[in-house]
Every structure is written in structure tokens, then in C-alpha cells.
Amino acid sequence: EEQIYRIDHYLGKEMVQNLMVLRFGNRIFGPIWNRDNVACAVLTFKEPFGTQGRGGYFDDFGIIRDFMQNHLLQMLCLVAMEKPASTSPDGVRDEKVKV
């Protein structure tokens, strides 16, 4: 069990992987991207495809369950969390759960 690394596959997308660098490693965004300067964040789910061929999947699981409860919540956490003490998986997770 300790050797298994579970990840939401959406977190493997390049832009998602770069969010922490954009937020915490950028001299412009780093100092101002925080709860004192940001009033709200809007996450928009827009994909260039429909449910063609996946209707049965969404009928069984639902698009809210598929995207919102994992992909969009992961994105929200990356956008809203404080800077983690370390970039280790545990350090990032500890900040995400605070959101």
C-alpha cells in the first residue's frame, strides 16, 4: 500500500501541473495571489467534446460526480490553498485539505 501512488488523472494535465509554479514561483503572482487580494475564483469546465460515446458512463456516474467531485475540486484546492511547507505529496495534500 505504501508503494501505491494514487492521483486524479486530471492533475497530470500540463496546465494543472504548472499552477503551483505560476502561483508560488512567480514574482508577480506570488505576493498578490492570496486571500487578502482575491475576492473570488471562477472555475469554468469547458471541453471541446460532448458525451458522445460516454452517455452510458455519465448515466451511471453523472457528470457532477465525474468532474466536480474530483477534477474541479482539485483545481479549486490548487487555486485557493496557501503555499505548502514543502512540495512533497504530503505537504501539498496538507494544504489542500485546509481549503
Cα(30)–Cα(37) distance, rounded to whole angstroms?
11
| 9 assigned to active site | no
Residues 68/39, Cβ–Cβ less than 8 Å: no
**Amino acid, res. 58:** F
Residues 80/41, Cβ–Cβ less than 8 Å: yes
Radius of gyration of the chain (CA): 16
Options 6, 10, 52, 71, the catalytic residue: 71
**Amino acid, res. 59:** D
Active site residues: 71
